[in-house]
Structure 1
Amino acid sequence: MTQIKKAVILAAGLGSRLRPHTDLMPKSLVAVHGTPILFNALRNLEAVGVEDVTIVVGYRKDAIQYACGLRFGNLDITYVESSVFDRTGSAYSLWLAREALLQGDTYLLEGDVLFELDALRCLNLGDAQNVTAVAPFDSMMEGSAVVLADNGYIAEFRMKQTAADLASGSPQLFKTMNLIRLSGTDLRSKIVPYLDEIVGAGAVKSYTEELFARLIERHGLRLAAARCDDLKWYEIDSEADLRIAESIFADRIERGAEGGVLARLQEGAR
């Protein structure tokens, strides 16, 4: 399988559910055991051979640009700014990064997911061109979920799921981890054109889950699921999520030398 050299990270949102942590910095820079969520993602991308990363920024964009710079380890960083981050969804942020998407095979990440390296490696197993990491949907989760077909591809997206949707007899639900591998062919022929279509129609509040649901249902996109049942990860949207992530990664998160950067960011924001 082709080695992917590019990635896009969506990190423009307000992170209002994570206040007061996000009063002074964007959600992607909130730290778990001293490591910002975004730094963990960048280090993992570097480890799987990525060379160029485009980060879509909005809320507290200067903090991300200061923390990551134009080069992070061996990664070249490019920033795309959303000036309407407070009234648009993640699909609009993805549309803003369309020039990067058109350059070829790409990893797509949300900037609020803490995950271990093997989750990215799982995206490169098998022959599928488009792959998303998934894990079983459990009673602590909420939001979008997917149902898998027997062949391992996503058959259906279901929005606004909760523990109540895990009833006996229903299809097993899986939570998408917002770590996706996308082929350059489908980015050019299906994904970016559909982004152009929905943004042109004014649907700027759509989320990426809605985007992929429609692409699968209406445009024939094939999106395989890489099951990461035994891997450590968590999507951090709230204070409760942050506490859970701290528990999950108590002994598994790689420590970096970013403490000084965080301290300067926090001091400068006061």
Structure 2
Amino acid sequence: MPPAAPRKAVILAAGFGSRLRPLTDLCPKPLVEVNGTPILHNALWNLQTVGVEEVTIVVGYRKDAIRHACGERFGRLDINYVESSVFDKTGSAYSLWLARDTLLSGDCYLLEGDVFFEEDALRHLIRVEAPNAAAVAPFDPSMEGSAAVLSSDGFISEVRLKQTAANLASGTPVLFKMMNLIRFSGAELQTVIVPVLHDLIGSGAIKAYTEELLAHLIEQRGLQLAAARCDDLRWYEIDSEQDLRVAERIFAFERPHRHSADAPAAVAGVGG
């Protein structure tokens, strides 16, 4: 039987989004819109739909805009904020470390605030029977970033950073794109993941990325991270304006989420 679905989530949304400039000169990347829906709102609606009740958002750049766009309650979600005052000098692992209180409180989803995805990606994570799982999809030539190598039994055996189309040339091993949607068990967070994260930040590696943390946990600490294959689903990681246009094409016929009575409306003037 799969473990119970988490009721909490952490979203990392503190960065500059410099590769999306000028769109992010005034607007934080998580609020850039894909066909009228801010990236962050899409994530929140999907989390709510699969039963999440409380979300911690780590903010930094244009933090007030994110607070205004999401409020303290979004639909049925309670929203907490953790602020990074050094977002311009740190990596995503540091943002994750700032949210350690939430991580230590039990089972939890972890999302990056630049992924636009359909709800079923979370349902794929829920169906995996292993305690910890990460969403992955086939790595195609248009992509770049962190990739996973899968073992024969469906676990991530290696995380490779800064992969591009050139790394696909040999075809061996087959690479899968990390979608930056992860489900962690409370037990693993308490006994392994948060202690390793604490040691990483304590050592001065404040510019490390979460993918580097995952690579270390898998290769050095034996973390069993199952792959939730999302080959058939629509999603896209948005780092550049070109990525945004691809996402808009992928979700061209998506019906926009309707705002419930107690969910804040999107910020006027924010968009792609």
Q: TM-score range by the shorter chain?
A: over 0.9
Q: Evaluate the alpha carbon distance shift between residue 139 and residue 253 of structure 1 in structure 2; reply closer, same or farther with a 3 A threshold.
A: farther
Pairing 1:261–2:266 present:
yes
What letter is aligned with 1:48?
A: V
Structure 2 distance, partners of 1:161, 1:253, is 33
Deviations 1:198-237 (A, max 9, x none): 1100000000000000001111110000100010000000
Counting helix residues as a fraction of each chain, which structure ranks higher? 1
**2:238: which partner in 1?**
236
Name the counterpart of 2:162: 160
Q: Give the Cα–Cα distance (whole angstroms) in 1 for the partners of residues 57 and 99 of structure 2.
A: 8
TM-score by length of structure 2 reads: 0.95
Any gaps of 5 or more consecutive residues in structure 1? none
Distance 1:192-1:113 versus aligned 2 partners, 3 A rule = same
Which residue of structure 2 lines up, in the alignment, with residue 252 of structure 1?
254
Match of 1:114 in 2: 116
Q: Which digits, 9 at most, give the CA deviation of each residue in 1:93-151, with x for residues without a partner?
A: 00000000000000000000000000000001131000000000000011111100000
CA contact (8 A) 1:106 1:181 kept: yes
C-alpha separation in 2, matches of 1:225 and 1:265: 34
Match of 2:28 in 1: 26
The equivalent residue for 1:179 is 181
**Larger RCO: 1 or 2 (CA < 8 Å, sep 6+):** 2
Q: What is the aligned counterpart of 2:152 among 146, 150, 153?
A: 150
**Correspondent of 2:60 among 58, 61, 65:** 58
Aligned Cα root-mean-square deviation (Å): 1.5
Alignment of 1:76-91 (within 5 A): 76-91=78-93
Match of 2:213 among 211, 231, 246: 211
Tell me, yes or no, if the aligned pair for 2:142 and 2:165 is still in contact at 8 Å. Answer: yes
Amino acid paired to 1:263 = A
**Residues 233 and 169 of structure 1: is their aligned pair in 2 closer, same or farther, counting only changes over 3 Å?**
closer
TM-score, with structure 1 as normaliser = 0.95
CA contact (8 A) 1:10 1:110 kept: yes
Q: Counterpart of 1:47?
A: 49
Question: Which amino acid counterpart does residue 243 of structure 1 have in structure 2?
Answer: R
Q: What residue is the counterpart of 2:94 in the other structure?
A: 92
Following TM superposition, by how much is the alpha carbon of 1:264 offset from its aligned partner in structure 2, in angstroms? 6.2
Alignment partners' CA distance in 2, 1:207 and 1:256? 34
| DSSP 3-state at the match of 2:88 | helix
Q: CA deviation at 1:253?
A: 4.8
- Number of aligned residue pairs: 266
Q: Percent identity?
A: 67
Aligned equivalents of 2:171, 2:139: Cα separation in 1: 15
Write the distance in 1 (CA, Å) between the matches of 2:183 and 2:266. Answer: 30
Q: Structure 1 residues 260, 194: closer, same or farther in 2, change over 3 A? A: closer
Cα offsets for 1:35-88 (capped at 9, x unmatched): 000000000000000000000000000000011010000000000000000110
- Structure 1 match to 2:223: 221
Query: In 2, distance between residues paired with 1:27 and 1:182?
Result: 25
Separation in 1 of the partners of 2:238 and 2:171?
30
CA drift of 1:169 comes to 4.3
How big is the shift at 1:168? 3.3
Greater shift, 162-171 or 62-71, is seen at: 162-171
The one-letter amino acid of 2:36's match is G
Separation (CA, whole Å) in 2 of partners of 1:109 and 1:253: 22
Give the letter for the 2:80 counterpart.
T
3-state SS of 1:187 partner: helix
Secondary structure, aligned partner of 2:267: helix
SS in 2 for 1:127: coil
